[in-house]
Amino acid sequence: MSRLRWKLLAAMVALVAVTIAVSALSTRRVTHDQVRRLLFARDPKACEQAAGPLEAHVRSTGGWRGVDAVLAQVSAAWRCRVVVTSPTGEVIAVSADLRGAKVVVEAEDRVTVEGVRDGRDGHIERLTLHTAPLVLRDAAGRAVARAFVLPPDDLLYFEDPAAQREIAAVDRSLIAIFAIATLVALVLTVVVSRRITRPIEQLTAAVQQIGRGNVPAHVQVRGKDEIARLATSFNAMADAVTAQEALRRRMVGDVAHELRTPLTNLRCELEAFQDGLATPDAARIASLHEEVIHLQRLVEDLQDLAVADAGALQLQRERLDLGATIARIIGAQADVTAEAGIFVDADATRLRQIVHNIVANAVRHTPAGERVRVRVAHAGGDATIAVIDRGPGIAAGDLDRIFERFYRVDEARGRARGGAGLGLAIVRRLVELHGGRVWAESVEGEGATFTVTLPRAAS
Summarised one tens digit per residue, pLDDT across range 328-350 is 988 888 889 988 889 999 988 88
Task: Please tell me the distance from the alpha carbon of residue 313 to that of residue 12, in angstroms, as a whole number.
Answer: 52
Number of domains, the chain: 4
Paired sense of beta strands 334-338 and 372-379, if any: parallel
Report yes or no: 18 and 189 within 8 Å, Cβ to Cβ: no
Share of the chain above pLDDT 90, in %: 8
Average pLDDT of the chain is 78
DSSP state, 98?
G
- If you average pLDDT over residues 422-427, what whole number do you get? 82
Identify the domain containing residue 322 by its residue range: 317-455
* Domain shared by 79 and 145, yes or no: yes
pLDDT band at 116 (very low <50, low <70, confident <90, very high): low
Q: What is the pLDDT of residue 212?
A: 74
* Domain shared by 363 and 283, yes or no: no
Q: Which helix (H) or strand (E) holds 6?
A: helix 3-40
Is pLDDT above 70 for 417?
no
pLDDT tens digits for range 240-277: 777 777 767 776 776 776 677 778 888 888 888 888 88
The CATH number of whichever domain residue 276 belongs to comes to 1.10.287.130
Query: Which residues on neighbouring strands pair with residue 449, listed in sequence order?
Result: 388, 441
* Domain shared by 423 and 324, yes or no: yes
Q: Which helix (H) or strand (E) holds 271?
A: helix 226-275
Q: What is the pLDDT of residue 320?
A: 92
* Domain shared by 294 and 328, yes or no: no
pLDDT band at 451 (very low <50, low <70, confident <90, very high): very high
* Domain shared by 349 and 432, yes or no: yes
pLDDT tens digits for range 278-287: 888 888 888 8
Could you tell me the CA-to-CA distances from 457 to 329, 345, 346, 374, 434 in Å, in that order? 20, 6, 9, 21, 12
* Domain shared by 246 and 357, yes or no: no
Sort 336 into a burial class: Cβ within 10 Å, 0-12 / 13-18 / 19+.
buried
- Residue 109 forms part of a structural domain: yes
pLDDT band at 180 (very low <50, low <70, confident <90, very high): confident
* Domain shared by 163 and 187, yes or no: yes
* Domain shared by 164 and 32, yes or no: yes
- Residue 217 forms part of a structural domain: no
* Domain shared by 22 and 144, yes or no: no
* Domain shared by 339 and 446, yes or no: yes
